[in-house]
Amino acid sequence: MAPLVGEAHERPSRAECHEAILGPAGEPQRRRRPASPHHLDVAQRGVPAEEPTSRALGGEACGEAPLGVGGGPREVELARGEGPRLVVAKERRHLRDLDELERLAHDSLIVGCHLRSVTRAPEYHLGMDVGAEVPHAQAPSLAAVPGLRHGFGQRSESAPAPPGTLLLKQVHGAHVCLAPWEGSPEGDAAVASQAGVLLGIKTADCLPVLVADPRRRAVAAAHAGWRGTVAGVTGEAVRALLREGSRVQDLVAGLGPGIGPCCYEVGDDVKTAFGEAGARYFTPGPRGRDHLDVRAANRDQLLSLGLVASSVTSVDHCTFCRADLYHSYRRDGPRSGRMISFVGFAPAVA
């Protein structure tokens, strides 16, 4: 009879390990352990002996505790010279294991596709008298603007943002702050109408949106999670620029890395919040729950205000897929770090 899921690698009892075996002449013999159990040798294969983390099913991609499927207790015992032996605890996982295997197969497929097409962006000197080297990605529409310094932050052991970057206390809303300021005011978007000011947005799955006005040398930045997207935070940032004197035909925008529709599985509460008009941003997922395309929703906010489509470009990296490049709250949970995206015009040279 085939073993149940979670049963195939149970450790034999102590009595079984020392059970005598009769040889050809009837004399007792000992069972021999396999010389090199490479099929279970996690250490030799370089695979970390960790329990897979659970995956959130709905709510905000960053800022909320995951609501995912939990795994049963499991430990790995490392025996010297023998390789590890998997010890399954009392509670067998049965159907929960099958659900976990289905999820891992889906995630492996997605990661494989991304790894073939995306590479790490090189480090880049800001040139704004900030003296920082920050690994980042860039949007083509913003990279083409003379004097504009911008970047969508990536994982780094060095400083996550240039010194002097103005940051907000982000609350998943749509309030816009006008720079400069002191401290960290509450808000999820900001506008700077003077050169030499660098705006920053912190993300770990939510979408960073950067906007620039080359004519006025003004910039805006927005933090768009699903709640901020519903509240229209990207549109509010553009409207703030227009109130400060910008013209919509002059604006260029970049959408940064965020959790993609390949991985952003959400609950019915999120779909309800978007309403009928937002139904087009949802597609059925492989696990029976909808996936949300936050990037498409925020791009539409920009276009609906009159930005030219060719002036809006994006860095289509999925933060959940690319663990080598980005932090992800949905993937890593509360221990996740944050990336900082930044934008600002360098001071004019006299």
User: What residue numbers bound the domain in which 148 lies?
Assistant: 123-345
- Gyration radius of the chain over CA positions: 26
11: in domain: no
E-strand ranges in the chain read 21-22, 28-29, 74-79, 83-88, 123-125, 133-137, 148-153, 176-178, 189-192, 199-203, 207-213, 218-224, 252-255, 282-284, 290-292, 312-314, 339-345
Q: Are strands 189-192 and 176-178 parallel, antiparallel or unpaired?
A: parallel
pTM over 0.75: no
Amino acid letter, 116: R
46 pLDDT higher than 60: no
340 pLDDT higher than 70: yes
DSSP-assigned letter for residue 20: -
Alpha carbons 283 and 116: distance in angstroms, whole number: 24
92 pLDDT higher than 70: no
96 pLDDT higher than 90: no
350 pLDDT higher than 70: no
The pLDDT, as a whole number, for residue 161 is 77
pLDDT band at 59 (very low <50, low <70, confident <90, very high): very low
pLDDT band at 21 (very low <50, low <70, confident <90, very high): very low
Highest mean pLDDT among 45-49, 92-96, 125-129, 335-339: 335-339
Total domain count for the chain? 1
- CATH code, domain carrying 206: 3.60.140.10
55: in domain: no
CA angle centred on 328, ends 301 and 224, rounded to 5°: 20
Alpha carbons 325 and 258: distance in angstroms, whole number: 12
Least confident window among 28-42, 209-223, 326-340: 28-42
191: in domain: yes
Listing DSSP states for 150-186 in one string gives EEEE---SS-SS-TT-B--B--SS--EEESP-SS--B
Alpha carbons 65 and 214: distance in angstroms, whole number: 40
18: in domain: no
Alpha carbons 148 and 131: distance in angstroms, whole number: 16
107: in domain: no
For the segment 117-140, the average pLDDT, to the nearest whole number, is 52
Alpha carbons 324 and 303: distance in angstroms, whole number: 32
Q: How many Cβ atoms are within 10 Å of 298's Cβ, its own excluded?
A: 27
35: in domain: no
Helices (H), 122-267: 140-143, 226-231, 233-243
72 pLDDT higher than 70: no
- Tens of pLDDT, residue by residue over 135-173, are 789 999 999 999 999 999 998 766 677 888 999 999 999
91: in domain: no
- Tens of pLDDT, residue by residue over 184-233, are 999 999 999 999 999 999 999 999 999 999 999 999 999 999 999 999 99
272: in domain: yes
The pLDDT, as a whole number, for residue 27 is 55
Alpha carbons 82 and 36: distance in angstroms, whole number: 7
For the segment 83-110, the average pLDDT, to the nearest whole number, is 40
Q: How many Cβ atoms are within 10 Å of 170's Cβ, its own excluded?
A: 23
Amino acid letter, 13: S
